[in-house]
Structure 1
Amino acid sequence: MIVDDQHYDLIIIGTGAGGGTLLHKLAPTGKKILVLERGDFLPKEKENWSAVEVFGKARYNAREQWYDISGDPFRPQTNYWVGGNTKVYGAALLRMREKDFEKVQHQDGISPEWSVKYQDFEPYYTEAEKLYSVHGKQGDDPTEPPHSEDYPSAPVSHEPRMQQLCDAILKQGLHPSHLPLGLRLNETDADDSDCIRCKTCDGFPCKVDGKGDAEVIGIVPALELPNVTLKTEAKVVCLHTSPSGREIKAVEAEIGGRSHLFFSDIVVLACGAVNSAALLLRSANEQHPTGLANSSDQVGRNFMKHLMTALVQLSPKPNHTVFQKTICVNDFYWGYLDYEYPMGHIQNTGSLLQEMILTEAPPLLALLSKLMPGLGLRQLASRTIGWWLQTEDLPDSNNRVRVDGSKLYLDYTTNNFEAHDRLIYHWTEILKAVERTENKSGLPLDIYPYSNTTIRVVGHQCGTLRFGEDPTTSVLDLNCRTHDVDNLYVVDGSFFPSSAAVSPTLTIIANALRVGEHLISRLS
């Protein structure tokens, strides 16, 4: 084993939304920081914008196997790169609603109360939006919580077809609004804009650094400082404690096929909800026989990842939109008409390219060909509008991360189905009503929902190391320090007690800034 002769003030494990943002916050302190990332920098190459490579061949997904509740292997849709999953995310950065921090009754169970409330997070949401250049507009969405400051950037404009659709949805009595997006975009000065509003944004790596991702925003600027060291292709395999078990003394990582040992005063996990829990379980020792920081038996439990459906709207009217992902609708978030329970959030997907019809949703190809015989894939794709629907996944202690030897198990059973099905139904009816109003040709409209609730889709993972005030029912305290180990913190999505229905990324970023403020105080 190679023992690093440096002693660090802090080690951050992982460089995604949590780890990359925390590094941004702490790097200016001058403290000696080591960052360990199991992946490398994602290469800028022509395949970045190839739907066949990105979706069909899963070129940038982790090349490993996890196992489901039946013991069957699957390749997870997660990404080990500098910047983590933000390298391929859709850059939708929404705040959780005020009520999301409270106890909420769903048809299938309870979304539990958070011990930290929206007003506690609000200053960090504002800081996060500034840091990640979030474009948005207040006032359109009645569910949006109050902001102490306006969005730092103007909303990303709707292209003509999307504006027409937005106006038509408004006439149905709903409140379509601008989707908050973290883009390095300046629509008034192209020379000052990294983002080029291309078709390959949502789910693709960005070749021009136009997304506000954790590598671009957090990691790269911090590396200019002499107190920051990044080691890539460094897979952390174990955390070693002191004899008492009350503090981490060393971090063990595999680099180039050899074991390395690193020492620091504080260790922060940001590996993602699945891998952070797995690392604690794999670090079991005499003082922590069931896994590190697991006296509550909650490590790995309450895994959540949203119920998600991509819905393809096929219309006779061509859609020439290039950058499509600009609309969101939250009228169904807390219920609708005769259904009193929350249903969820709706936003556009990126453009549906012809290659994506072949690679991402093969059943769609047969359907579209039947509906419009004689049309080529390009013509079919040009008549689609994509929508993304997501519903809150309720915490369940039986939905959990387990390890058995070298194998990582994700025991998971989906819940809250009816709420998600009702969201799909109501949105389909709205789109049909819009099309009846717009469509004068008499040609048919069809809606094709394509489920993304399979076990391998883990982009919105959260909840496996929930925070709270009671150490018997939570793993982390309210500063996201483990109850059992004094110098061990977590800043990824693991800390969520509930998943809400909006994407978790902005809340992970805001929480990293919040925890960073605490760590600055502790380090000083």
Structure 2
Amino acid sequence: MGVSGDRGEMNNAVEQSAWYKGFNHPAYFGDKQHWFDTTPLPCGAYPITPVGHFAKLGMHHAGMWPVPLPCAIVQPGSAPYQTREKIAAALATWTSNDRPEFWQQKADQIWSEAKRNACNMCGFCGEYICWGKEEAPKFGTRVTTLRELDALRSEGKVQIHCNAKAIEVMFDKAAGRGTGVRYLDISDPDNPVLKEQLADNVIVSCGAIQTARLLRLSGPPEGLGNRGDQLGRNATFHLFGLGVKITLDKAFQGMVHGEFGATGNVTSYEPYFLQEPVTKNWIKAGTLTSTAKKNPLENAAAYFDSQRGAALQPLKEIETYARSMELRLTADDLPMPRNRVDLDPKHVDEYGIPTARVTRDLGPNEWRMYELALPMFEKSVAKFRSNGNKKIIETFGASPAIVDLIGDHQMGTCRMGPDDDVKSERSVLDSHCRLHEARNVFVVDSSFMPTGFGLNPMLTVVANALRVGSWIVQQEKRGLLS
């Protein structure tokens, strides 16, 4: 993953934060070498956009250390990105003896010669497709894994089944093993065809909600991997509900171009933990990041939906687009067993299969976190309140917690736990992300996480998938998974 970012700035921002200074005294916290990796990221930092510039000024004023947001996008202005060269450079620094067999290969055996052009800051990556002259500069499955696998199809080593809707992981209870996947071929959506794919190993990666749903539809009546009633529990999501929208004065019209670059641009680790003013206890929160709408019609469309027929307000929303920005707290729930995913007893999808039902509420930690975070937003915009007699901010508004915003960064529904949790009383997966009750069925999406990060989890998901995949290859070659 070609992450753009400045490792030195990131490390410094964490080290300067109040929570790090408050935590780093006990011996168990570890030394600086444990906390601060000095390995440079593959690409340099993404440029500061106009939205990022304003947010950076405000964060500095609030005593924070904003840094360019690390993102899996090829750095604008850089030379074409060659994954093979980056892998070779990374392997050269991997000198320990614990390198898995797969990673003992040379870079040209691992990856193709594919190149990616640098990001041109078109901004479509926020909510649309990422375009590129050769391959998209944004690193996603389509232009990484799937592209490499597609090159192997002509050699007969890989089959990719499109328009396939998995509905069950087939399970042999006597053997305690998954035997394959049952799916609907929906090439003709009105005439689905039930098919089966047998397999020695089954790897599930459908997202924390749909993975829990698929496993619920599989195996024993209560679901495959649900022997201890843990499947689907402890779901966590990012609490993107708390944020502020800032509209600058008309004098700044046209200076804030939200369409440049990725959605987020600068971030601060300062609010990763927030301190109670009286007890001095710390509460888990997250990161504060600048965000921007990508389309002038976005706010206007939302207004039309809620107040149809009102013509003037949407026009104002369009007009203020070029001078408005947002700050958003990327925090997350603490795990709670009552926050869960199961099968809806009433609703089915278009093929008659029960849909996923999500049950979620916020706990006392989350509500208290919101209360502690609001002053942080106020401090961040205080610099823009006025500058002498000049008016800088026209409007400033904070949005409340949104409990039902559950689409972003879903995690935790198949928690990873100890290998000896044979009764599955605390977890669904072992340390290799195998189901405790089906040792050849793996889950490698964000479902495995025992708790949320307060950060985008996807690079950790990728790193874990590479770890698990390398282990599977190694075990298969030794005949230890059969």
2:453 matched residue in structure 1: 500
CA distance in 2, matches of 1:420, 1:204: 32
- CA RMSD in angstroms comes to 2.9
1:329–1:456 Cα change, 3 Å: closer
- Which residue, out of 247, 255, 274, partners 1:314? 247
1:245–1:296 Cα change, 3 Å: farther
Runs of 4+ deviating beyond 4 Å = 189-192, 360-366, 437-440
1:396–1:164 Cα change, 3 Å: closer
Q: CA deviation at 1:379?
A: 2.7
1:414 has 2:362 as partner:
yes
1:303 matched residue in structure 2: 235
CA distance in 1, matches of 2:173, 2:392: 74
TM-score by length of 1: 0.68
Residue type of the alignment partner of 1:500 = F
1:195–1:177 Cα change, 3 Å: same
The count of corresponding residues between Structure 1 and Structure 2 is: 386
- Contact 1:390 1:420 (C-alpha < 8 Å) held by counterparts: no
Residue type of the alignment partner of 1:250 = G
- Which residue, out of 264, 284, 287, partners 1:325? 264
What is the CA deviation profile of residues 350-395 of structure 1, one whole-angstrom value per residue up to 9, with x for unaligned ones?
34532111234669999xx99xx99743331111012221222111
1:439–1:245 Cα change, 3 Å: farther
Query: Mean alpha-carbon deviation: is it higher for 340-349 or for 489-498?
Result: 340-349
What is the CA deviation profile of residues 64-90 of structure 1, one whole-angstrom value per residue up to 9, with x for unaligned ones?
xxxxxxxxxxxxxxxxxxxxxxxxxxx
1:519 matched residue in structure 2: 472
1:250 has 2:174 as partner:
no
CA distance in 1, matches of 2:231, 2:143: 31
Query: Mean alpha-carbon deviation: is it higher for 304-313 or for 333-342?
Result: 333-342
Give secondary structure in 2 for the equivalent of 1:228: coil
Residue type of the alignment partner of 1:212 = F
Residue type of the alignment partner of 1:320 = V
CA distance in 2, matches of 1:359, 1:260: 42
1:229 matched residue in structure 2: 159
- Which residue, out of 168, 181, 188, partners 1:238? 168
1:146 has 2:15 as partner:
no
**Unpaired segments ≥5 residues, structure 1:** 1-131
CA distance in 1, matches of 2:466, 2:388: 48
- Contact 1:133 1:152 (C-alpha < 8 Å) held by counterparts: yes
1:245–1:430 Cα change, 3 Å: farther
Higher relative contact order (CA 8 A, sep 6+): 1
Q: Percent of aligned pairs with the same residue?
A: 23
1:363–1:407 Cα change, 3 Å: closer
- Contact 1:352 1:384 (C-alpha < 8 Å) held by counterparts: no
CA distance in 2, matches of 1:444, 1:342: 30
What is the CA deviation profile of residues 78-111 of structure 1, one whole-angstrom value per residue up to 9, with x for unaligned ones?
xxxxxxxxxxxxxxxxxxxxxxxxxxxxxxxxxx
Q: What does residue range 163-174 of structure 1 map to in structure 2 within 5 Å?
A: 163=53, 165-174=55-64
Greater Rg, structure 1 or structure 2? 2
- Which residue, out of 288, 292, 296, partners 1:346? 288
CA distance in 1, matches of 2:400, 2:382: 23
1:281 has 2:216 as partner:
yes
1:382 matched residue in structure 2: 322
Give secondary structure in 2 for the equivalent of 1:183: coil
Residue type of the alignment partner of 1:143 = V
What is the CA deviation profile of residues 443-470 of structure 1, one whole-angstrom value per residue up to 9, with x for unaligned ones?
5443223457353532211111101012
1:394 has 2:334 as partner:
yes
1:459–1:375 Cα change, 3 Å: closer
Q: CA deviation at 1:438?
A: 4.9
- Which residue, out of 128, 149, 155, partners 2:45? 155
Q: What does residue range 179-258 of structure 1 map to in structure 2 within 5 Å?
A: 179-189=69-79, 193-208=117-132, 209-225=136-152, 226=155, 227-256=157-186, 257-258=192-193
2:298 matched residue in structure 1: 356
TM-score by length of 2: 0.73
CA distance in 1, matches of 2:8, 2:303: 36
Give secondary structure in 2 for the equivalent of 1:259: strand
Q: What does residue range 359-374 of structure 1 map to in structure 2 within 5 Å?
A: 359-360=301-302
